Structure 1
Amino acid sequence: MAANTEILARFIEECWNARSRTICDELLDANYEHYMPGVEQPTVGPAAYQQMVDTFVAGFPDVRFEVVEAFGEGSNVCLVWIARATHEGVFNGIPPTMRPVAIKGVAVARIENGRITRITSMFDNAGFAAQLSAPAEKPAEAWSRTARAASQ
């Protein structure tokens, strides 16, 4: 069985970079929970997470994640990443700016029996907003709307 750090890195690569439509069902637990800044409730389940990915990709179609570092012990894994993209589409009400963005973040995950049960993502929403020249709360509100819609 692959090490848990390899499972999480594979998930990021296939979901976000390769745009696999099956990886969420393959690697996310049926009761998967995703937490992130600015979002009150977690995104729950593989389908809801895929919808969140689709919404982000619609606004940033060239998004690519680079895994900078991955480490962990047992079922707990931490992954440091950088996402780079160009804001080419509407992202939850924010019209395209055609500006490049680079978002640095950390994903802390729990992986049990080869399936990801939870990820808590932390990244700089204010820095993300500044790169789009949008008010600082706008991306957080957009993520929150995306996560709420995905969980319904």
Structure 2
Amino acid sequence: MASNPEILARFIDECWNARNKSIANELLAPDYEHYMPGVEQPTVGPASYQQLVDSFIEGFPDIRFEVEDAFGEGERVCLTWTASGTHKGVFSGLPPTNRSVVIHGVAVARIIDGRIVRIVSMFDNASFTNQLNAPPEKAAESWKATARSAG
């Protein structure tokens, strides 16, 4: 049986890099919650999380996540990652800029009986929007719109 850090790393790789749409239903608990910077309410459930992923893939069709480290004890897991991609599609109302972005982040998760019940993602949202050259107010609104459409 895989360890909890291995489960989280597998989820990130299969969901984001392999574009495996069934992995959310397999590894996320039915009442899964995902928290992101700048978004007041969590994304709840596997289907909503997949919508969030799909919106990023629409805007950044070449997006890839590299898991740098995954560790934890018991139910708690921490994962560090780097995501990179090119803004070639509409992302939450922002037209394509063809700019490349690199985002560094941390995910803190709770995993019970092989299912991910919660992830809190932390990344530098300001750096992300600066790389897109988006006005801060437009970027903040786009994040909220992305989360609302996924929730």
Give me the TM-score of the superposition, normalised by structure 2.
0.97
CA distance in 1, matches of 2:142, 2:54: 13
Q: State whether residues 128 and 139 of structure 1, in contact with CA within 8 Å, keep that contact through their aligned partners in structure 2.
A: no
1:125/1:136 contact within 8 Å kept: no
**Cross-structure match for 1:58:** 58
Q: Which residue of 2 aligns with 1:33?
A: 33
Letter in 1 for 2:18: A
Distance 1:147 1:4 in 2: 26
How far apart, in 1, do the equivalents of 2:143 and 2:30 lie?
Answer: 22
SS of the residue aligned with 1:47?
A: helix
Residue number in structure 2 paired with 1:109: 109
Greater displacement, 53-62 / 128-137: 128-137
Any residues of structure 2 matched to 1:1-152 within 5 Å, and which?
1-151=1-151
SS, match of residue 98 in structure 2: coil
Structure 1: give runs of 5+ residues left out of the alignment.
Answer: none
Deviation string, structure 1 residues 75-99 (Cα, Å, up to 9, x no partner):
0000000000000001011111101
| 2:14 partner amino acid | E
CA distance in 1, matches of 2:12, 2:144: 21
TM-score (norm 1): 0.97
Residue 120 of structure 1 aligns to a residue whose secondary structure is strand
Tell me, in whole angstroms, the C-alpha distance in 1 between the residues paired with 2:138 and 2:7. Answer: 32
> Hey, what's the Cα distance between the residues in 1 that align with 2:116 and 2:140?
24
Distance 2:71 2:19 in 1: 24
- Which structure 1 residue ranges, 4+ long, deviate > 2 Å from structure 2? 136-141
Preserved CA contact (<8 Å) 1:84 1:100: yes
Q: Cα deviations across residues 43-88 of structure 1 (Å, max 9, x unaligned)?
A: 0000000000000100000000000111111000000000000000
Gaps of 5+ in 2: none
Deviation at 1:140, TM superposition (A): 3.2
Contact 1:35 1:120 in 2 (8 A): yes
CA distance in 2, matches of 1:138, 1:46: 27
- Partner Cα distance (2:62, 2:81) in 1: 16
